[in-house]
Amino acid sequence: MTDTSKLRAWTEIDYQAIAHNVAEVRKLVGNTKILGILKADAYGHGALECAAALADAGVDFFAVACLAEGQQLRAAGFHQPILLLGATPPAAFDELIEGDFIQTLVSLEYARKLSDYALAHGTKAKAHVKVDTGMNRVGIQYQDGARRYDQIKAAYGLPGLDVQGIFSHFPVSDDLGFDSREFTRHQIRLFKEVLDRLKNDGIDPGVRHIQNSYGILNYKDLGMDYCRPGLLYMGVTSDDQVPIASAPDFIPILSLKTKVSMVKTVPAGATVSYGRHYKCDQPRRIASLSIGYADGLPRLASNQNLMISIRGHKVPLVGNICMDQCMADVTGFDEIEEGDIATIIGVDGPNVMTVDAISRAAKTINNETLSALSKRLTRIAKDE
Ligand SMILES: Cc1ncc(COP(=O)(O)O)c(C=O)c1O
C-alpha cells in the first residue's frame, strides 16, 4: 500500500484497469482500432501513465489537444503517431514538424499555410483532414447547405502535406432521442459520402475515424479504422444518468481522497463556512477536510447534499466549499476523527462514490470535473 500519511489530498489511479476498459471498447467496435485521447493530461488521470497503459493494451495511436501536450509525450519517449486535435499556431509549425506530429487541418486556408511552410523547409507535414459534418467547431464543412467537397479534395492535393487520415466529430452522440439519433446518423452518412467521393476521385483518404466515447457506446461498429475514446478507457461516461444503447462493464480508474484535518462540535444556531449557508439546527459534529475548489472539487457542488464517505459512512458536505478545505457533517459517527481518510470519489467499504455525483451537484459533466482536477493533488498509482 502506498504511504499516504504525508498527503493532504490525492488521486489514486488504477492504471491496470485501463486494459480491461480497452477490452470492453474492443467488444463494441469490432475491428476498429483505438486512438487513445490523452488531452488535458488524460482528463487529469496522467497522460504519460495512461499512454503507457494504453500502449501495453495494444493502442498504437494517440491524440492530444495541442503541441505542448504532444511534446510532453515525445519527451517521455512515446514514438507512436500523435494527432494534434486543435490548431497549432503557424508560428509553431517548426515545432510541429520537429516533433513529427500529425496536425488536424482545421480549414483549407490553414492547410495551405502548413503546406507552404513545409515546402519552404524542404519537408512534408503530416496531417488528418477534419470534416465538419455538423459540430461547427473546426474542420472543412461538409453538411447540408455547405458541402465543400472541393476543399477537402484540395487539401489532399497540397504538395507540402502528407495527409494520412480523415475524421469528423459527433455533437449529440450521447443523446438517444429521435432527433439526435437522426442527426448523428446523418453525420455518418455525410462522412461516408465524402469517403466515397474521394474514392471515386482516386484519392486514398488514409485512416478514417469518427467515434468519441458516446459514438462507441451508441453506434458501436461503424467500420472505421479507428475510434477515439477518452472517457471510456478511464471507465466512466459523461453522466451516469444518461441512458446508453450498450451495457459495457467499465471500471472507473480514478479515486479522489483527502484527510480529515479536525473534528469539532458546532453549537446549535451556528453556521459553517463562507456565506453562512449551512446552519446547525442542533449541535453538529463537523469534520474539516483538506480539499477545496483549488484542488478541483467544484465550488458549485457546495450545499447540494453531496455525499462523501469516511470509515464506510456516507456523510454530506455542508456549507460552501472553500479554496483549500471543505466541511462534512459527521454527526452520529463518533468514530470519525482527525487523520481519517475521506473518499470523495472511489470505493470506501460498502460505498461507491462517483464522479458523476459531483458533476451532477455542480451541474456539469464528468469531462469537466475530471479535467479540472488540479496539479496540487498528489497522483498515485493504485497498487496491485
Ligand atoms: C475530437 C475529439 N475526439 C474524441 C474525443 C474524446 O471524447 P470522449 O472523452 O467523450 O471519448 C474528444 C474529446 O472531447 C474530441 O474533442
Catalytic one of 264, 274, 363, 375? 274
Mark whether 233 is an active-site residue: no
Q: What distance, in Å, lies between the first and last C-alpha atoms of the chain? A: 9
Residue type, 206: G
Domain with residue 262: its CATH number is 2.40.37.10
Residues 199 and 288 in one domain: no
Per-state percent for the chain, helix, strand, coil, to nearest 5 = 30, 25, 40
Type and span of the H or E element at 317: strand 313-318
Q: Which residue has the cell 474492443?
A: 26
Find out whether the beta carbon of 231 lies less than 6 Å from any atom of ligand 1: yes
- Nearest atom, ligand 1, residue 37 CA: 6
Domain with residue 196: its CATH number is 3.20.20.10
Residues 209 and 261 in one domain: no
The answer to whether the CB of 22 falls within 8 A of the CB of 16 is: no
Find out whether the beta carbon of 343 lies less than 6 Å from any atom of ligand 1: no
Find out whether the beta carbon of 133 lies less than 6 Å from any atom of ligand 1: no
pLDDT exceeds 70 at position 384 = no
What pLDDT band is residue 288 in, cutting at 50, 70 and 90? very high
- Residue 1: what pLDDT? 72
Mark whether 314 is an active-site residue: no
Residues 56 and 175 in one domain: yes
- Which residues are within 8 A (CB) of 326 and not within 5 positions of it... i.e. 6 or more apart? 273, 288, 289, 291, 292, 297, 302, 317, 319, 320
* pTM of the predicted model as reported, rounded to 2 decimal places: 0.97
pLDDT single digits (tens) 217-255: 999 999 999 999 999 999 999 999 999 999 999 999 999
Q: How many domains does the chain have?
A: 2
pLDDT single digits (tens) 54-106: 999 999 999 999 999 999 999 999 999 999 999 999 999 999 999 999 999 99
How far does the centroid of ligand 1 lie from the alpha carbon of residue 64, in Å?
10
Residues 168 and 208 in one domain: yes
pLDDT single digits (tens) 110-159: 999 999 999 999 999 999 999 999 999 999 999 999 999 999 999 999 99
Identify the CA nearest to 190 among candidates 141, 235, 230, 246.
141
pLDDT single digits (tens) 294-341: 999 999 999 999 999 999 999 999 999 999 999 999 999 999 999 999
Residues 294 and 223 in one domain: no
Q: Number of helices (H) and strands (E), helices first, in the chain? A: 12, 21
pLDDT exceeds 90 at position 283 = yes
How far apart are alpha carbons 92 and 100 in whole angstroms?
Answer: 13
Diameter over CA atoms, the chain: 79
Catalytic one of 39, 130, 257, 259? 39
> What domain range is 39 assigned to?
15-234
The answer to whether the CB of 56 falls within 8 A of the CB of 20 is: no
Could you tell which of 45, 228, 242 is best to mutate to test the pocket of ligand 1, judged by most ligand atoms within 8 Å of the CB? 228
Query: Is residue 378 domain-resident?
Result: no
